[in-house]
A = this chain, B = another copy of it.
Amino acid sequence: MKHDRRSMVARVLLLAVSLTLAEQALAQSDPLPSWNDGSAKKAITDFVQATTTQGTPKFVPPAERIATFDQDGTLWVEHPMYSQVMYCLERVPALVKAKPELAKVEPFKTVMSGDREAIAKLPMKDLEKILAATLTGMSVDQFNAEVKAWLTSARDPRWKRSYTDLTYVPMQEVLKYLRANGYKTYIVTGGGQDFVRVYAERTYGIPPEQVVGTAGGTKYGYGKDGKPFLTKEPKLLLNDNDAGKPQGIHLMIGRRPYAAFGNSTGDRQMLEYTGAGDGARLMMLVMHDDAKREYAYGPAQGLPASKVGTFTQALYDEAKKKGWTVISMKNDWKKIFAFE
């Protein structure tokens, strides 16, 4: 008996030693190798250090560790057009084939003309018609299958690569680093929730239940075989932009994030809401200032106001005033894409 007990104690001690060694090895390697040293990188590692060191005032219990990430422009390229909009435009021919009467109706007529300039000029109202027609009216399973198929063949116009290759390596590192430290990582996107869920797990390691996005209603019905299925309806439940982001976070997560990452005015309220919590909070904005490696459309590019994108001067000023960290793609990121 005594011998057995001793061997068990030895085993537990050995296990503890192994775990400690493993922890030290992890701590010594750089979790953010694609980031240059600087205030942005330091803000991230300081935040993780502060919120995960037990017994310190800013410690956050693991269950409460929530981090939210905008997608377009924050985790992957959003120029020259959101990939979801590309999907919808490229779906139009199939739609017209199924309903030939649409060929003569705007805005489908313009899309079918292939006139890129005219398509780019379509007003928001027309774009919404295209989105509704291509994102709803089919079963959830059918939609998932169509997006999946599209993603395997679709290529972006500049790099001629799959859209899922256009994620930012430094942000992938942040996702992994936060998860390794007990954070649940969520996407909180203005894009379609169902669209992003199709590839989020494979692309970012984020499961469908951790994707919050613009979401529509569904209808429950039965097929000829008696099996139930859900049909995507054009009814909007959540517009996950601007104030819709904290609303979506409350609806889908029910906790205030400790860290939030965005890149545009559509993320402003999410960052404000995150920053209004107690303790250590991390608010970061990706600024697109690297025309060579990606694009430059931020406020600090010397661009005339009309050319500044969704990261406006007002957002830049709010960030500076509130102590949010602005990430310069040009200066803070050693590497942007995995294929570089």
Contacts and interface: CB of A to CB of B under 8 A. Distances in A.
Given A247-B217, A272-B228, A276-B229, A254 B208 contact: yes
Contacts of A207: 63, 255
Given A193-B254, A208-B253, A253-B209, A276 B237 contact: no
B227 A276 contact: yes
B273 A228 contact: yes
Interface string A143-171: 00000000000000000000000000000
B247 A218 contact: yes
Contacts of A63: 201, 207
A251 B269 contact: no
Contact of A269 (B17, B228, B238, B273): B228
**Most chain B beta-carbon contacts within 10 A, residue among A15, A63, A211, A220:** A220
Size bracket, chain A contacts: 35 or more
A194 interface: yes
Nearest to A251: B215
Contact of A15 (B15, B238, B253): B15
A315 interface: no
A276 B225 CA distance: 11
A230 interface: yes
Contacts of A109: none
Interface string A56-84: 00000001001000000000000000000
Contact of A276 (B18, B228, B273): B228
A208 B252 CA distance: 9
Interface string A186-226: 00000001100100010000011101000101111000000
A120 interface: no
A42 interface: no
Nearest to A63: B207
Nearest to A205: B63
Q: Which 5 A-B pairs have the closest CB atoms?
A: A208-B254, A220-B243, A227-B276, A209-B253, A197-B254
26 contacts: A11-B14, A15-B15, A15-B18, A66-B209, A184-B209, A193-B254, A194-B254, A197-B254, A208-B253, A208-B255, A209-B254, A211-B254, A215-B251, A217-B247, A218-B247, A218-B251, A219-B247, A228-B269, A228-B272, A228-B273, A230-B246, A230-B247, A230-B250, A237-B237, A237-B238, A252-B252
